[in-house]
Structure 1
Amino acid sequence: MVWCTLLFADVVNGQTKTLNGVYAGVKLMPSVTPGGGMNRIDEVYLFRPDGTFNDELDKPDWQKRTTGRYTISGKKLTLKFSKDGDVSDYEIQSADKIDAGSFILFRQPMDSSVPKGFLEFKKLSSMGGMGTGTTFVGTSSTRGLYFDGKGRFSTNSENTSVIAGDGIGGGGTNKKEGVGAYKINKGVLTLSFDDGKTQTHSFYYRPAEKPVMAVIDGDIYFMKDEKEMAAERSASSSAKSKRRLSANNSNANTGASGNIADAKAMLLKANATHGGTKLDNVKTITFEATVQGISVTGYVAVTGERLRLEMSKGGKLLQVQQLEGGSGWEWQGGRTAPLTTTRINEMRTSFYTGILGLRKSEIEALTIESVKTGKAGTAIVCMQNGKRYAFIINDKGQMSASGDLATKVPLTTVYSDFRQTDGILMPYAELNTAGKQQLSTQYSNFRINPVIPPQTWNKPGAN
């Protein structure tokens, strides 16, 4: 999560009238169909006593930049964005917390020093691996900053892709590093590299609470302790050795045409396992699930790629997102706004991965890129509509994991608790991975091909 400084002013009878500083938190967005995983959004707000705020701390003019205005009435905090006029209503719980509905915005005091240690920002996508009985497929993007507490720093960034498991191995890594001197002044971190390059960043962190975390240009960095770093170095070394040994001993040839043909046959077998013709003929799906205490109700109409996701807590509707082909909208706090292009693309992928990705029509349209087979199962990476997806098929012919590997924050899901539902084998439990977060999703109900009344697709409050 992200936290920054916040100082309260004009407090009357325990009620805050203005804010001065930064609040931030992590918004976790579940996907719209099984297999979509979770998407993590870091929300950061720099509030000023004059009633303005900025949620773009990555911009060079972040200290003076204004992206909207806020008002406070009792405990109610209302944000109105300048660009599109969108409005969000939050509740001030205390001097340290704001309830944003499906997530919490926290306060972090400003500090005039930089913490000694290693701060890491990681976006991780993975499926399978230890404890799942499947091959591991993963991609990660990592940025790190090490401060020695005496004015020196080192940086590293790394992009890695891995396919590994019993009898298989492969992947690649790209690294960049730098060293120099640092200083901090009123939330501005200056990095002076030894090669003469200089960078400035917005920087806030909370030293008094665990885990130690920092906000750098609006991104969330977590402090890693020495034991954690030593364990990761040992695990990384072991994994690299295993992958090298697996690659040398494997008889699998990724580019061999036989494997490509076998891959499509394996996907068609998974199609039959999960329902065959009944799966191919799915027109609508509805479901109910629970994610981190949030109740999720979903509606899916395959024709026209129409999807609706409703989130509620304690019987109160918090948010609705709806995809309508190549466009869509989001409702929150009584206001609607268009879905971002990124979110539209994320939601559309649910028709090409997960359970719906196993329909015969989708399998036939795939271009297989790579196949890695081992004792734990087979990882198949493929292209569809210009995007990269992955499936892991176990020895029972079940899709035990799937993912979208093309998004900015790749979405991946490991499946379990398979149950027959209206002739289709559906997973009622998922382990979702997005960024540093791993969340479990438990489905309580699926309905296949129900009639969805037309009014279901209306915006909340509409007749």
Structure 2
Amino acid sequence: MAKKQFLLLCLFIVNAFAAHAQSLNGVYVGAQLYNTPFNGMQINNLVFYFKSDGSFNDALNQVDWKTKATGSYTIKSGIVQLNFKNGYESKKYKLAANGNLESTAGIKHTLHKVKKVTTIPEGVYEKRSASTSGGTGTPMIGAFSSNLLYIDGKGNFSTDRSSVVGVGGDAAGGTVGGKFENNSKTSGTYKLGDGEITLTFGNGAVSKQSFFYSPPNGEDLILLNGEFYFRDDKKENPSIASKTTTGAKTQTNTIVKAGTPTPAILLTKLRAQYGGESIDKITTVKETANINGNMQMVAITDLANNRIRAEVRQNGKLLIVKQLERNEGWQWINGSKKTLSQDEKDELDLNLYQGILGLHKKFSNYFLNATVTPSGDDYIITFYKNKNKVIYLVGNDYSMKGNAYSINSASPNISVYKNFTKVNGVTYPAVTETSDGKNKLTSTTTAIEFNPVLNANDWKAP
């Protein structure tokens, strides 16, 4: 009898321990890729604060984020099921041996745990989330924006915000503005606590927000108020970036305008700066790029046959393929293939009329029949491809700052170009930043080939 009672007691303890182990505790983050019928590929940044009582909160931008519960979860046979109070579709994840949560449906994504910290190394962090529509390099609805946070690792911080702002109207039916704004900088001191950061600004204002950290061997990000801020070692401290070295003389290439230039002048100047006849020699292009660091894209273009294809992978696994040949297009996602809508085909097609390819002599007739509108010291060049509007933003030094387009008179999509580099006589942007004013995507070109030989296998469905 005593032995039986001992076994029952052990069983009770084991079961109690197992029940206790079937819970999560901490904040998990990740990025989920999904597809919409009209807006193409989208990326949703996910944040969940799991509590050991079986509840979770995905709203870490609330004052009561520690106690708030937006849903509940259960763990059974290594599967974590999330049920939302607001009626959103439930989610299921597999609890991996390393503690990560791996998706069980849709396009594969992983949630990993971020840390509470009391110290953090010096760095500049940039707010990023992401969405994209159409094919490779296509812009987004709204405006490009950048939120920077500098932390010196010693208790001081500074912030900066700059933006290229979006929509204006005129007699021609609306244009995309090119105004560049530098809002006032703010700075102060910070103190890290129990999953929180307390910011004390120079004017005495105090703000307490949720704060977690993922080191470089993870995602290399901070989670501030539920938003993703990724480390960007290429950016300077925003509080000192605008300062000039003592005694240094700043030079500018500002051109004094004696009237608005014609489309022909702008096209000639742009072509001279970005490749001229070298652009005209382009027949095919193969570009490989990283998207927000955790996805890879390969895009191929055949100008002679009006063919475009974009492939997106995550950790080497093929996720999405979109392809257009003249006016026939299809999309493959997770083994399922469908025909593209006309709007989706138009979005892919408009890739040819933007950026460096848009300066090709093959498309010059569109540019030459454009309208030119001054925008501060810059110029807006507007033309139409069928019923769809295409816009170039050109600086007064004849630099190509960005593009925009709109489908069916919808809200304009906009992208900004950075870090131009030269290959085979063609100067192109190695970084394209796109945003809808809230979300941001950064595409960084890692390899580009002009005039590669493309064969039938390059255009096959998966």
TM range (shorter): 0.5 to 0.7
Query: Which of the residues 203, 207, 225 maps onto 1:199?
Result: 207
Deviation of 1:355 after TM superposition, in Å, equals 4.4
Write the distance in 1 (CA, Å) between the matches of 2:16 and 2:268.
69
Query: Which of the residues 158, 162, 179 maps onto 1:159?
Result: 162
Any residues of structure 2 matched to 1:130-209 within 5 Å, and which? 141-146=146-151, 149=154, 152-159=155-162, 172-206=180-214
**What residue in structure 2 maps to residue 55 of structure 1?**
58
Deviation of 1:17 after TM superposition, in Å, equals 0.8
Query: Which of the residues 342, 345, 350 maps onto 2:347?
Result: 350
Deviation of 1:141 after TM superposition, in Å, equals 0.6
Deviation of 1:21 after TM superposition, in Å, equals 1.6
Deviation of 1:354 after TM superposition, in Å, equals 2.4
Code of the residue aligned with 2:351 in structure 1: it is G
**CA, structure 1 residues 321+96, in 2 after alignment: closer, same or farther (shift >3 Å)?**
farther
**What residue in structure 2 maps to residue 78 of structure 1?**
81
CA contact (8 A) 2:144 2:416 kept: no
Query: Which of the residues 4, 17, 26 maps onto 1:21?
Result: 26
**CA, structure 1 residues 368+120, in 2 after alignment: closer, same or farther (shift >3 Å)?**
closer
CA contact (8 A) 1:302 1:351 kept: no
Deviation of 1:156 after TM superposition, in Å, equals 0.9
Write the distance in 2 (CA, Å) between the matches of 1:296 and 1:406.
22
TM-score normalised per structure 2: 0.56
Code of the residue aligned with 1:56 in structure 2: it is A
Deviation of 1:19 after TM superposition, in Å, equals 0.9
Code of the residue aligned with 1:219 in structure 2: it is E
Secondary structure of 2:116's counterpart equals coil
Higher relative contact order (CA 8 A, sep 6+): 1
Write the distance in 2 (CA, Å) between the matches of 1:243 and 1:160.
23
Query: Which of the residues 448, 452, 455 maps onto 1:416?
Result: 448
Write the distance in 2 (CA, Å) between the matches of 1:287 and 1:210.
28
Deviation of 1:396 after TM superposition, in Å, equals 9.0
**What residue in structure 2 maps to residue 434 of structure 1?**
none
Any residues of structure 2 matched to 1:1-16 within 5 Å, and which? 12=18, 16=21
C-alpha distance after superposition, 1:63-113 (max 9, x if no partner): 2333322221122122233334412221111353222363322223433x2
Number of residue equivalences = 361
**What residue in structure 1 maps to residue 288 of structure 2?**
none
Q: Which has the larger radius of gyration?
A: 2
Deviation of 1:216 after TM superposition, in Å, equals 1.0
**CA, structure 1 residues 82+300, in 2 after alignment: closer, same or farther (shift >3 Å)?**
farther
Write the distance in 1 (CA, Å) between the matches of 2:229 and 2:261.
39
**CA, structure 1 residues 367+324, in 2 after alignment: closer, same or farther (shift >3 Å)?**
closer
Alignment of 1:110 with 2:142, yes or no, is no
Secondary structure of 2:53's counterpart equals coil
Write the distance in 1 (CA, Å) between the matches of 2:225 and 2:339.
31
CA contact (8 A) 2:405 2:413 kept: yes
Deviation of 1:58 after TM superposition, in Å, equals 1.6
Which structure's residues are more often strand, by fraction?
A: 1
Any residues of structure 2 matched to 1:194-343 within 5 Å, and which? 194-206=202-214, 213-222=221-230, 245-247=252-254, 255-259=261-265, 278-279=305-306, 290-298=313-321, 308-311=331-334
Give the share of equivalent positions with the same residue, in percent. Answer: 18
Write the distance in 2 (CA, Å) between the matches of 1:200 and 1:155.
15
Any residues of structure 2 matched to 1:118-137 within 5 Å, and which? 118-123=123-128
Code of the residue aligned with 2:18 in structure 1: it is V
Structure 1: gaps of 5 or more residues: 1-8, 126-137, 163-169, 312-316, 327-344, 424-443, 451-455, 457-463
Deviation of 1:291 after TM superposition, in Å, equals 4.3
Question: For the aligned residues, what is the CA RMSD?
Answer: 5.8
**CA, structure 1 residues 297+362, in 2 after alignment: closer, same or farther (shift >3 Å)?**
farther
CA contact (8 A) 2:144 2:414 kept: no
Deviation of 1:18 after TM superposition, in Å, equals 1.0
Write the distance in 2 (CA, Å) between the matches of 1:353 and 1:391.
16
Write the distance in 1 (CA, Å) between the matches of 2:339 and 2:315.
23
Query: Which of the residues 44, 47, 62 maps onto 2:47?
Result: 44
Deviation of 1:45 after TM superposition, in Å, equals 0.7
